Amino acid sequence: MAPESAAHALAPIVREHRTVNGKHILITGATNGIGLAGAEALAALGANVGIVGRSSTRTKIAAARVKAASAPGATVDALVADLSTQAGVRKLAAEVLDRYPRLDVLINNAGAIYSQRQITTDGIELTWALNHLAPFLLTELLLDRLKQSAPARIITTASRAHHQGGHIPFEDLQAAHSYFGYRRYGQTKLANILFTRELDSRLKGTGVTANCFHPGLVATGFNYNNGLLMGALMTVAKPIARSPEKGAETLVWLATSPEVEGISGIYFFDKAQRAPSLAAQDDDAAHRLWQVSEEQCAKTAVRS
């Protein structure tokens, strides 16, 4: 999309939000789709935006596009990290802490779906590692900086697909005995909501809020990594899918709007609170998930 057409598409998002001049916002998965559209809108509102991508080339291209949409004086920073590895997450966190004396908003947006089961270099199933453990670990590593910058906000991109996840398979976190790509994706999106729920309980009195949202079916590059059939299905769905700018509206609203100031632990869709599945409201599961996630991250910290 050319800068002029991008600015035109972003205009409705920008008009309904207050400016965030001088705020420092970090957003992962920002080289495409709703992450990129959200980064453009936030930069247009005057935020200093740090965009995170896996590819150096794509991240630089995205940074240039965000810069073209930004308000005068807003800065755009490009950070490269492979968030499927915990070493990559730790390296990103160290870089952020070194560059940013304050962090006002952390947006955990990176995620993917994989039709075939894969194992990361940490020995962890890939979908779980990228969609759940990466935002969990990155948030933990940046939490003190966010508290120091309060009032601050943490936003995680979840999905209605969490309804298909059923429950967190604590007995088989590696999905070694039963793997189906969409169900596994749903489990990680359920984990995003439970993570937000438990995080909220741990943030009481800090001035930091944590919320998550479902962006809707969005026409992006999502799921095109899973072969011709999945690519064809996504292409067929495009006419009924939202634009990335529409998908990013709730993300930008959660990052900037005074309407959600002080509100925390909530799952949103189209800028409205929605009730997630019963499994996503299980406080015992949320607490247990936090514990096992800490254990999974501690194991890699020992090795690194």
Q: Exactly one of 114, 179, 182, 185 is catalytic; which is it?
A: 185
Q: Which of 264, 253, 150 is nearest to 196 (CA)?
A: 264
- Between the two ends of the chain, the Cα-to-Cα distance in Å is 41
Residue 185 a catalytic site member: yes
* Pairwise CA distance, residues 261 & 253, whole Å: 11
Looking at the chain, how many residues does it have?
A: 304
Residue listed under structure tokens 């298909």:
164
Rounded (10°) CA dihedral 277, 170, 182, 158: 50
* Pairwise CA distance, residues 39 & 55, whole Å: 17
Whether a cis peptide bond, with omega within 30° of 0, leads into 151 is yes
Positions marked active-site: 185
